[in-house]
Amino acid sequence: MPEFPERIKLERGELRLVISSEKIAERVEALGGMISEAHPAGDLTVIGVLKGGVNFMADLIRTITVPMNIDFVRLARYGDETESSREVRITKDIEIDIRGRDVIVVDDIYDTGMTLRFLVDRLSTLGAKSVKVCVLINKKERRTESFEADYRGFEVGEGFVVGYGLDYKEGYRNLPGIYMLHED
């Protein structure tokens, strides 16, 4: 894996490493162990939220030791850059039947919670036996929904984070660690 510096200079600011790729790998392995232990019989469906959750989900499913199937969903919220609405739209739906199955939703970040709340409610109406949420980053500063993610990687406070699937204007998803964006 290529080496990335702890600080990356940008045109108007910099990125500062806050969670290394090694720490992410350790935590992902632990989360996979917890999920495997909670579902010893398998019958598990893991649903990744596109695009941000892809890196996390790819690594996570390699650590889950019980039978599973996978699928993806892509959601969009309307609104401008400063304020998004509460309306969530499905732009790519799941393609497998989840009736009677335990479902784990995997996403990169749990921020306001509006999108995850919408998805959990939707999957429940499709007949899932249970729906749990696994997020890499739990960020409470803008939380508007009252439920908690069942599996959480890291708590991050104020600020904008990128890397390991998280983006800023579709960039920086490829960084192996999590970086905080500091603008000048």
> What DSSP assignment string belongs to 65-106?
-S-EEEEEEEEEEEE-SS-EEEEEEEEE---S--TT-EEEEE
- Which residues lie closer than 8 Å to 77 by C-beta, 6 or more apart? 84, 85, 86, 87, 88, 89, 114, 115
Residue type, 85: S
3-state secondary structure of 61: helix
Q: What angle do CA 106, 112, 116 make, to 5 degrees?
A: 35
Query: What CA–CA distance (Å, rounded) separates 59 from 20?
Result: 15
Read off φ and ψ for residue 51, nearest 5 degrees: -95, -30
- Which residues lie closer than 8 Å to 130 by C-beta, 6 or more apart? 102, 103
Marked catalytic residue, from 80, 111, 150, 184:
111
For residue 111, indicate whether it is catalytic. yes
Residue 26, H or E segment: helix 21-38
Active-site residue list: 111
